[in-house]
Amino acid sequence: MSTSTKLVENVKLPRFVRVRQEFPHSELTDEEVLKIFNEQIKAMEGRVKPGQRICITAGSRGIDHMPMILKAISDWVKSKGGSPFIVPAMGSHGGAVAEGQKALLASLGITEETIGCPILSSMETVHIDTVDGLEVHIDKNAYEADGIILCNRIKAHTSFNGPFESGLMKIIAIGLGKQHGAYTCHAMGDDHMSERIEAIGKSVIRNANVLFGTALLENAFDRTFKLEVITSEDIEKREPELLKEAKAAMGRLYFDDCDILVVRAIGKNYTGAGMDPNVVGRCVNPKLKMGIESQRLCILDLSDESHGNATGMGRADFAPKRFFDKISMDDTYPNGITSYSISAYRIPMIMDNDKESIQAAVVSSLNINYDDPRIIVIDNSLEIEEILISEAMIEEARGIKELSITGEPFELEFSESGELLTTARA
C-alpha cells in the first residue's frame, strides 16, 4: 500500500447508469462504398498511362474502409497499365523510422498482400520548392513516381481550426513531408497550422505530379458516410466544403461539463491525439474551446494498437501504473518533438490502480459534492454511443432528447488488483 493509497482508499464511488447517445446512422455498406468509388473513378480516365509508376498514400490512422479503398485504387491503376506502390504518409509517426511506419501500416491491415502492390517505406525526402520561407519536401519515392494519388479521411483536427485540417492537403504537407514536413508545419504553433498546410499542399500540387485524391468522410460512429474522388485541381476548393460536412457529422458528449471524466483507454487508433479533444475537451491549444469541460480527467489504459504511443496522456490528471508500464518513449516522444507541443506528452499522476485513480480524481477536485460527484465514464473517445454516468447526472440526462437511460443504477466492478472491469458498452 502506497502513501497515496492511504489518502484515497476511503473515497466511496457513486453508482452509475448506462446511457445511450443517439447519433444518425448514415454509414454506407462496403458494397455502396465500392460502387461510389467505381463510378467516380471514371472521371479520372487518362490520368494514369501504361507503364507509369504510381504512388498511393497511406496514413497512420485507423480509417474505415481504408484498406479496401487502397486496394481498389491499386487495382484501378493496374487496370490502366500502371504499376502502383504504397508510401507511408504519416509524418513522424511509427517512431519516425521507415521500419516503424511500415509496421504501423501492417497493424492497420495495410500490407503488400492485402493491397496487392509494394510498400516503399523511407524517411528520405526531396526538396522541391520554397514557399513563404518554408522548405517544401516530399517523400523521395513519391517524388520519383510518375504520379501521386492521395487517399485520406477529411475530418476536424484536434488542436487547430481552419479551412484545411485533417485531409488531403494534410497528407501532402505532413504525410508525404515525413518528419521534416511535420516539423515545418508545426514550427509556428497551432495558430498557423492550417495556412502552412495549405501553402505546402498547393506547392506540392504545382510541383509534383499529383493526379487526384480520394476523400473519405466518417460519421459519429467513425463509419464512412461519404466518399469523393477529387481532381488535384479541385482539392483546394472542395476540401474545405467537405470539412464542414465532416464536422457536422461528428460525435460528441451531450453534456456541457462534469466533475470527473474517465476514459478507459486512449491510443493512436482512436485519434491522432490519443483521445479526441472534440469529445473529451482539453485541447492543447488554449485558444480553442472544444469538447466537454471536466475538473479532473482520468485515463486507465493504452490500447495495444497504439504500440506504446501515449500521445495525449499529458491532458489527463491521473492514470494507473498499468497505463504507465505500456508507454514507449521511443514511439511517443518523436511526435512531441516534431509538433513543438510537449504538453500532451507529459505523464499524469500515476496511482497504483484504476480505482485509486478515480478516487484521487474525486478527492482532489474543488467545490464538488464529494458524496455524489458528477462522473462520466467512456470506453474511448471514438466509441461514445454508450456511456456511463453517475447518479448525480440522471436528472440532467433525462432533459437531453438525444440521451436515453438503459438500465438501473449499479456499482462499478473492479478486480482484486483494482482494475475497472465495467465497460460503457453493455
- Mean pLDDT split into 10-residue runs, the chain, 426 residues: 82 96 94 98 97 95 92 98 96 85 92 97 93 91 97 89 93 91 79 88 94 96 95 97 94 96 93 89 81 96 93 96 96 82 90 97 96 97 95 97 95 97 93
Partners of 260 in beta bridges: 296, 375
pLDDT tens per residue across span 194-213: 998 999 999 999 999 999 99
Distances in whole angstroms, Cα of residue 139 to Cα of each of 63, 171, 251, 337: 22, 11, 34, 20
Strand 257-263 with 293-299, pairing: parallel
Instruction: Give dist(CA 190, CA 340) in Å, integer.
Output: 9
Cα separation of 337 and 67, whole Å?
A: 30
Residue 349 DSSP SS3: strand
Question: In sequence order, what are the beta bridge partners of 224?
Answer: 218
Torsion sign across C-alpha atoms 281, 283, 284, 286 = negative
d(CA 212, CA 339): 28
Q: Which domains does the chain have, with CATH numbers?
A: 3-23+251-405 (no CATH), 30-248 (3.40.50.11440)
Cell 491521473: give the residue: 318
pLDDT in tens, 388-402: 999 999 999 999 999
Strand 147-153 with 210-218, pairing: parallel
Helix (H) or strand (E) holding 74: helix 66-79
Place of cell 465500392: 34
- Residue 209 has a pLDDT of 92
pLDDT, position 1: 58
Residue type, 66: M
Nearest CA to 319 out of 355, 292, 291, 344 is that of 355
pLDDT of residue 245: 96
Q: What is the pTM of this model?
A: 0.78
Query: Which DSSP helix (H) or strand (E) runs through 350?
Result: strand 349-351
> What is the rounded (10 degree) CA torsion for 45, 49, 52, 56?
0
SS3 string of 90-111? CCCCHHHCHHHHHHHHHHCCCC
Q: What pLDDT is recorded for position 50?
A: 97
User: 390 near 43, Cβ under 8 Å?
Assistant: no
Q: Residue 5: what pLDDT? A: 85
